Amino acid sequence: MSNNGYEEIADLTAMELGRLYRLGELSPLDATRAALARIEACNSEVNAYCHVAEESALESAKASEQRWLKGEALGPIDGVPSSIKDLTKVAGMPIRSGSLTSADELATEDAPFSARMREAGAVILGKTTTPEFGWKGVTDSRATGVTRNPWDTGKTAGGSSGGAAAAAALNMGVLHQGSDAGGSIRIPGGFCGVFGIKPTFGFIPQWPASAMTTLSHLGPMTRTVEDSLLMMDAVAQPDHRDWYSDRKFDGYWIDILDRPLEGLKVAYSPTLGYVDVDPGVRACVDRAVAALIELGAEVEEVDPGFSDPLEMFSTLWFAGAGKVVSGMSEAQRDLLDPGFRAIGEQGMKIDIVDYMKAVDARAALGIKMGEFHQQYDLLVTPTLPITAFEAGRDTTDDSQKYWMEWTPFSYPFNLTQQPASTSPCGLVDGLPVGLQIVGAKGADALVLNACRRLERALPMQWLGRPKAGSRG
């Protein structure tokens, strides 16, 4: 097949690929070759993949091709090129977690997410980049280097699922797994202009458990809402290895789409009552909210009524980092990202009483949001108050100490374990802006349907190649 043919295939969605597979008009092998060609062409510029498993991917694609030819496809994502973040085990692939301290060995078994994707027939192309142990809202590490934004390679892709977001923006593969303990799906999704959702905690099992414990959710990152729903149908299944995975959706996620928004009560909080938002970002989000109103939603501008929970989040976050660092030798600690080592060593000193106070404050915030959703079906905010900044930095400027200071819209909803998504809603100076939609716990269907309706009202342009930017 010609390069032009591969380029056209590489831009197809999972829904489109499945339809063409069913009709016999396209082979999973051609789709996989197209995805690998896109990775070959783009990865050196954005550093989205830290491991590409070309041989095993092609073998999986050949097996999928035979299943489709025999009418024995395993499901709608059988043969769809996909990726897994390098915090999640994939049997036969490295599990480095973005760290020089990790043993250079191959995983011997699949994590639940990887297992469910394989069982659905997905072709796993490789592993996407993460900062060390997913500790921050940008993606760079001593082990794998800097991951860059496809819209401007001088800018950050965000993190910690920055590799997945950059891959999704360029369709270097179609379906991508992210994880989110403080915004790590929504931050890079917002910066890179792709859809992503942190589902209600417990829908998607996670094993081994995250260092950030019950803050961490796994979820899909894709160009379209439909494709994320196809992933949800595959992976949102309980697994005995994660005793928190106690939720099961009744039916198929893909069937929830395109329901009318008339009568839906939506709270729009442009600042949460305390965030400074870039005027260009605010304008894009305002336009998206106007589109929701045109679609029939009943929108009221109102804040949810809590103050910035940064202190309680930081206590829990630092404690999680402390758990990781506490098991390392001094020689291993010397290999760590200095920022991660610093918060880990700080976390090791957290008093148990202070930790339990943070746990109690978290519970109170969850109750408050539960009460808020008795009145409002959804809460809408910007995903981020800014657009992407210089790659290779942890913060926007030297006045900030921690990454959480520039992403105040995301971590509150890890504390509450609610479903929270990001959808692209415009560009400011050529860089994407994201809209966050938050639902009550278990109301993922409402969130996803609203995202799909908004996606149709505000279609996103896509990239086939990264846009070069100045590098500091």
Q: What is the pLDDT of residues 181-228, one digit of tens each?
A: 999 999 999 999 999 999 999 999 999 999 898 999 999 999 999 999
Which pLDDT belongs to residue 471? 60
- In whole angstroms, what is the distance from residue 53 CA to residue 126 CA? 5
CB 101 within 8 A of CB 134: no
- In whole angstroms, what is the distance from residue 163 CA to residue 130 CA? 6
Catalytic residues: 85, 160, 184
Instruction: Return the domain boundaries, the chain.
Output: 3-457
- In whole angstroms, what is the distance from residue 383 CA to residue 387 CA? 10
User: What is residue 94's DSSP assignment?
Assistant: B
- In whole angstroms, what is the distance from residue 278 CA to residue 282 CA? 6
- In whole angstroms, what is the distance from residue 31 CA to residue 29 CA? 5
Q: What is the pLDDT of residues 16-71, one digit of tens each?
A: 999 999 999 999 999 999 999 999 999 999 999 999 999 999 999 999 999 999 99
| pTM metric for this prediction | 0.97
pLDDT band at 139 (very low <50, low <70, confident <90, very high): very high
Three-class SS of 217-237:
EEEEEECCHHHHHHHHHHHCC
pLDDT band at 246 (very low <50, low <70, confident <90, very high): confident
Which segments within 366-441 are labelled E, that is strand? 378-382, 420-428, 431-439
The single residue listed with the structure tokens 């860059």 is: 148
